Amino acid sequence: MSEPKSTGKLTAESRNISASSLKDRLSKLTVTPINPVAALHANVNFVPSHIPRKRRLQMLAVAGWSVMIVITTVVFLLLCSIPPLWPFLAIYLVWARCFDDSPEHGGRLSPWFRSIRYWKYFADYYPASFLKEADLPADRPYVFGYHPHGIIGMGALATFATEGNANLPTIPAPYSQGPKATGFSTAFPGIKPHLLTLTTNFNMPFYRDILLALGVCSVSKQSCSNILKAGPGSAITIVVGGAAESLSARPGTADLTLRRRLGFIKLAIQHGADLVPVFSFGENDIYEQMPNEKGTTVYALQRKFQSVFGFTLPLFHGRGLLNYNLGLMPYRRRIVAVIGKPIHVEQCDKPDIEAVVRVQKMYIEELTRIWNTYKDEFAKARLQELNIID
């Protein structure tokens, strides 16, 4: 039986189908943005044109600090382009590298510089504040342990290296002690705080002098000992988790690298310094971080970088100067550092491991108590509970 031959002509029905199909394809093209700038504009949440002057100043203060290393480097290079200044710059570099031991001996803390209005705008941006749970007598040294590290540790800077002014939200009784500000010296008279950072930060011209004026010092063992030996009221703040913990910093989480960190406990025992746990609610919330779970190539590369250079580079993002969801500035999210009750330790020059572990257990218990007490007030949007991962 032979098949019917095709005439090659379109029927009325097939014409209707073809016309309908073409119409659908054209409609899809009209809703797909052809201009990439238009597509970007559709995904970026831009800042309105009318923003209060105070909020703009807050944003500029945080933006300035976020790129302060770049600013000071550019200023130094510009000065290097002026030949008459070469002798002075050479003297400065030789003095900074060979003779100035301030990073290892308590810095050059300037109460005036810590209190300038710039830091008020910086703290009010988030806003950053702290809650004081107990008085700290100025008759002994102190070691503050700050948790978590976050991406950069903006809350640690606002609380322990400036006297910025940010109101604290109301706390339920019996923990309410009224509104406080991030003016550490006012809340803890007689205590001289020193936030500690990597020694390499003091190799950068001009930036090192800003850090020293804020009372920031090197985190080296010798630096810690020199500060604690300075006498009663001397205090150091160590961001205990370090670079390793920054890789776990994500909004809604509280993963702490702590169990193997015994050095700061031993240091406190050797100098008879009371240990003060500090938990900063919101520190992990001010940046988003790209996925880098253990076992991934990204995580392996970050840890390798850390082993070589002593610090790591989390792949993070935040907001920008002119938008709310694309850039490297931190988000405006509240940071509240709860400064817990001091743990008194007996001085011992050579504490054994059992004594160190015993004090560490007390420290973790106090840190856990802080979390459980305030999590429903300051971590309402948490995705998980406190987790000590290492």
Q: Which residue reads 């310094």 in tokens?
A: 273
Q: In the predicted model, is pLDDT for residue 230 greater than 50?
A: yes
295 φψ region: left (φ > 0), alpha (ψ -120 to 50), beta (else)? left
pLDDT score of 173: 42
Q: In the predicted model, is pLDDT for residue 82 greater than 90?
A: yes
Dihedral angle over CA of 74, 80, 85, 89, nearest 10? 80
Strand 288-289 with 387-388, pairing: unpaired
What average pLDDT does this structure show over 163-178? 51
More confident residue, 351 or 183: 351
pLDDT score of 246: 86
pLDDT digits (tens, 9 = 90+) for 298-317: 778 877 877 777 677 788 88
**End-to-end C-alpha distance for the chain, whole angstroms:** 81
Euclidean distance between CA atoms 121 and 125, whole angstroms: 6
pLDDT score of 40: 45
Chain-wide mean pLDDT for the chain? 86
Helix (H, G, I), strand (E, B) or coil at 274: strand
- What residues contact 132, with CB distance under 8 A and at least 6 apart? 177, 180, 187, 188, 339
Q: What percent of the chain has pLDDT over 90?
A: 67
What average pLDDT does this structure show over 346-364? 95
Euclidean distance between CA atoms 130 and 155, whole angstroms: 9
Q: How many CB atoms lie within 10 A of CB 100?
A: 17
pLDDT digits (tens, 9 = 90+) for 244-275: 888 888 999 999 999 999 999 999 999 999 99
User: 257-277 burial string, b = 16+ CB within 10 Å, else e?
Assistant: bbeebeebbbbbbbbebbbbb
pLDDT score of 168: 55
Q: What percent of the chain has pLDDT over 70?
A: 84
